[in-house]
Amino acid sequence: MVTLTASVTVHDSGPQPYTLLALAGEADIVSSATLRGILEAETGKRPSLLIIEMSALRYMDSAALQAIVRANLALGADGGRLALVAPHDNVARVLQMTEVDQLVPVYASLAEAVPRSLPA
């Protein structure tokens, strides 16, 4: 059985601070409580930008999607943003089929997701 692994890094230097959550493995019903807990903890810190890096995430089910949508809503209510980066083909397909990619911006790379400067 493939498990979900996650690492959180706070990047507070540069023009736009952000929190990076890197996911690897499979986000399914077995690991959904873990993912939900991590997302609730990170959104509770009210980052201006939370980026979920998904290149090593090979599978995601509806429970993981629900956790991501909830995180997006929580951040939006506090004026923050959620971004998804480099989803694996299988995960990208799920995001597209469920139209979550219309709710949460999806970027090909971390460089695209992190603003280089603050808006004027």
CATH number at residue 102: 3.30.750.24
pLDDT digits (tens, 9 = 90+) for 52-99: 999 999 999 999 999 999 999 999 999 999 999 999 999 999 999 999
> Is residue 119 assigned to a domain?
no
> Is residue 116 assigned to a domain?
no
What integer best gives the mean pLDDT of the chain?
92
Q: How many CB atoms lie within 10 A of CB 89?
A: 8
Name which of 59, 52, 61, 48 is nearest 18 in CA terms: 48
Angle between helices 62-77 and 32-44 (to 10 degrees): 10
| The total number of structural domains that make up the chain | 1
Q: Cα separation of 70 and 74, whole Å?
A: 6
**pLDDT value of position 34:** 94
